[in-house]
Chains A and B, each alone.
Chain A
């Protein structure tokens, strides 16, 4: 652990990433305290007002305070990231550990399923499903989660294959511990490190996906703000209201950037054996 800490601390970008991630979580949690205005109350006398003392980030096309919307948007955007990645991770761990532990036909079947899901462009699947569902933040989280479990499954399975042969596992099996117990107590904790990296990289991907969906009008429902939907609305007025594009854009950029730097930092500080497997994640996450 100390080796990990030292390796991590050496990577300055990763440390910055970690700090920013923490700050963003704080913003989301403290939104009601930090937001100076009601984020959803229109005020038609203040449509597209430029940043000022009263509205540090200006107002949007319905006269709502952009700063307050971004602060509240942090809640929704981060929630989309956390929950959808949570779903994907849960499925991934369940399937990956089953495949890795049982092996044989079960393993082959699960891995074919992974292969199968990986040949579909994720955005196509999202579109196909979302267009048919009643839109809500929950469906969006669920659908992003349900299309993102494949990399985690692969990682967990690979870890299991490697760990299964280790002495401590073989030993607990030999003294007759149940399969579930072995998995839960001995293998899983050891396999968590790469999963953590996968989660760190999955969250920004989910935030970006949500913004893409907002762009097509399939994102979180109005009047609730997400960084993605503030940005996609602001786009049309960028020449006269730069603040509507620049601030939410910066927030997305900084968030995604810091999560990625953090994720890479954790990965680099990990056991070198794990690095390669995790490396693929970045490529797929869009």
Chain B
């Protein structure tokens, strides 16, 4: 079951800056000394949970978090992020971006080989590009590559990309995983990439781990790629165990059957704070806490008469006690959101209209909008219609369900009746969100380091498959979004995005609820874990376990 509904805007979903990246101090059994001089040891197995089956091992054509979790260890991309979320080369040795951000030139590393021994070259980059724009390729990430005017490979280790228009986020789009031309070309041409064995049990990438074996529904085993161009990863094996029930994941964790768990595998804030405090657990695991890059919102269907009036949306924002909501849902482990950018990131604008909890003000705004009378149940009525709407969210996400319950109670206080509908992800998206058959939704977005949110807010993006699901249309925002993505000068872009946040705060197409903290736990025998702006698993390759503490000896 998917926890985070809204995945990234690009396939790289990393943090947008970091205000306070600190490790949770609440860990007891960390008795081993960890000086910098300690030499990392190789070996041991790391066991991770997957709460769903993977749908394929070519990340470019899958969109579920589980497949990406596994795929990210098998494949590499041209660029990636370091701990502080700065771009660094991975398959690219270096790159040059032109001043008008229309052109990108990559120099590739010469020492990279696919897992089957073939060298990685510019041909593979060109092939990946062609695969992404092929209409027969079932991918959600076409947009970024369709913006490319031409891609040239003057020699096997040089790639030049020219964009039709300036695209500020272009470098980020090269976080896309690279695919082997020599194995996949035929499948792409036939439109059968999904059916390729490389998508199932013979994936070939350039990444730090190689595929070893899989038992469908049971586990996937990866082994260290000893010839990895940046040196072998220390952990010899990674086992992904498929455990569909989130409760079972927690039980396995308590019994030390797993080496990590997080919100993705269903670890709730309540469990994290109140059920992991006992000695044995603190000895076995380290708990980490850092701001994540995803926010949760209440989105209104602006086509519905209830929410067409901005004052109604503002009233609802005033009627929701965000502080209480954060305390109730994630036990305070989140920060209030004021807009779609993370507090502390460069694009974040702290000076926007705020909506403190204020039921009388909410009632006044509703009265202004014509909702004055109440019926005998205390529900507001306008022209004979009671203010009663349906609030949708997806099943399998405990937090969102709780949010819905708190919002329901809060809105009842100001005379609005809410019916909650919790629907399984597939039908939720297909039957309700895409068809706009909802009054309001609770959903979340993972945001990218680049502030370009054209696809979410631009009025041209209101089609059924588009992401502007609330049908938000504001000409000024449209203009700013266009301007913002076409310049590379950060200071200039900041002006545009600051203004966008002011307008969004005023318009309240969403009530922006909170940015949640990421709350992973990781086995205390593992060294080298260093969460940063880029999250926690960016340096998984460097994690290691001291010899005496290695639990699994298989090599």
Contact = CB atoms under 8 A, between A and B. Distances in A.
A280 to B, nearest CB: 33
26 contacts: A40-B408, A40-B409, A42-B328, A42-B406, A44-B324, A44-B328, A44-B406, A47-B328, A47-B331, A61-B270, A61-B402, A62-B406, A134-B423, A135-B421, A217-B396, A217-B424, A221-B421, A221-B422, A222-B401, A222-B420, A223-B409, A235-B247, A236-B246, A236-B268, A237-B271, A239-B275
A132 B396 CA distance: 16
Sorting the interface of chain A by its residue count into under 10, 10 to 19, 20 to 34 or 35 or more gives 20 to 34
Interface residues of B, number: 29
B274 A48 contact: yes
A47 B327 CA distance: 10
B275 A240 contact: yes
Given A40-B409, A47-B328, A217-B395, A134 B270 contact: no
A233 B404 CA distance: 16
B421 A134 contact: yes
B427 interface: yes
Contact of B409 (A42, A48, A217, A240): A42
Interface in B151-167: none
A62 B396 CA distance: 17
Contacts of B270: 47-48, 61, 236-237
B405 interface: yes
Given A44-B327, A221-B422, A222-B422, A236 B247 contact: yes
A217 to B, nearest CB: 4
A131 B275 contact: no
Interface in B424-454: 424, 427
Contacts of A51: none
Nearest to B396: A217
Interface string A204-244: 00000000000001100111000000000001110110000
B424 to A, nearest CB: 6
Nearest to B407: A42
B250 interface: yes
A241 to B, nearest CB: 9
A181 interface: no
A40 B413 CA distance: 13
A240 B405 contact: no
A5 interface: no
Interface of A: 40-42, 44, 47-48, 61-63, 131-132, 134-135, 217-218, 221-223, 235-237, 239-240
A135 B422 contact: yes
A223 B408 contact: yes
B520 to A, nearest CB: 18
Q: Is the interface of A mostly helix, strand, loop or mixed?
A: loop
Contacts of A44: 324-325, 327-328, 406
B420 A221 contact: yes
Interface string B248-285: 00100000000000000000101100110000000000
A128 to B, nearest CB: 13
Interface string B391-406: 0000110000110111
Given A40-B405, A218-B395, A236-B271, 13 more contacts: A41-B409, A42-B328, A44-B324, A47-B328, A61-B270, A62-B402, A131-B424, A135-B421, A217-B396, A221-B421, A222-B422, A236-B246, A237-B274
Nearest to B408: A223
Nearest to B271: A236
A242 to B, nearest CB: 13
A222 B405 contact: yes
A256 B327 CA distance: 37
Nearest to B277: A240
A47 B424 CA distance: 27
A139 to B, nearest CB: 12
Contacts of B421: 134-135, 221
B409 A63 contact: no
Nearest to B402: A62
A132 B420 contact: no
A202 to B, nearest CB: 27
Contacts of A237: 270-271, 274-275
Interface string B531-547: 00000000000000000
Interface core residue of A41, A132, A236 (most chain B CB under 10 Å): A236
Contacts of B395: 217-218
A135 B431 CA distance: 13
A63 B328 contact: yes
A134 B247 CA distance: 26
B377 to A, nearest CB: 14
A217 B422 contact: yes
A283 to B, nearest CB: 28
Given A40-B409, A48-B274, A131 B420 contact: no
B327 A223 contact: no
Contacts of B408: 40, 223
A219 B124 CA distance: 49
A140 to B, nearest CB: 13
Nearest to A236: B247
A218 B406 CA distance: 20
Contacts of A239: 275
Given A44-B324, A48-B274, A223 B247 contact: no
A222 B404 contact: yes
A41 to B, nearest CB: 5
A218 B428 CA distance: 13
A236 B250 contact: yes
Contacts of A236: 246-247, 250, 268, 270-271
Nearest to B332: A44
Nearest to B432: A134
Nearest to A233: B398
A63 B401 CA distance: 15
Contacts of A132: 427
B456 to A, nearest CB: 27
Contacts of A217: 395-396, 422, 424
B39 to A, nearest CB: 39
